[in-house]
Amino acid sequence: MEYGNTNNPTIMLVHGFESPYQIWIDYIEHYKESYHILVPILPGHDVQEKSEFNSFDDTAKEIENYCISKSINHIYAIYGMSMGGVLASYLWKNKRLTFEKVILESSPLLPFGKYMTQMLIKQYLSITKKARERNQKSGTKRNKYNGNRRYVGCVFRAVR
């Protein structure tokens, strides 16, 4: 999703695992007059369209391609939370975009051992299964954002 004037410095807000983009609403409201704000909806997190998260590399490339296609090569600040922080570190590491400030909150950046990895995968699969079942029961429907611009798994919506 995009907010604010594209002539202003760009801020990117990247949500975490099983967190909706709406967690950024207060930030968006506060900063949208002074900044251009990008809020990607990560694969597996869009209730309107089914998608799967494949890898941080793939998702980072999708976001980079989107930004480059819109002539956004420099990001003033990126704020990544949890899984979004890991993704922000990939974006920073790839150097296809430049960043003045990189903020990583609660982001696991070091590799885990085999036991911890297996435990986290099991937990991830359990959480995503429950979230999908909850979404199916609630009958989530498309909302006013029907002009989606999709780059493989990420969704960016133009908001007016």
Residue 73 has pLDDT above 60, yes or no: yes
Nearest residue to 108 via CA among 81, 126, 127: 81
Nearest residue to 42 via CA among 152, 142, 160, 158: 152
The pTM of this model reads 0.70
Residue 143 has pLDDT above 80, yes or no: no
- Structural contact between residues 155 and 46, judged by C-beta atoms closer than 8 angstroms: yes
DSSP annotation of 23 reads: G
The rounded distance, in Å, linking the Cα atoms of 85 and 151 is 20
Q: How far is CA 95 from CA 18, 60, 90, 114, 128, in A?
A: 27, 11, 9, 30, 31
* Average pLDDT estimate for 5-13: 96
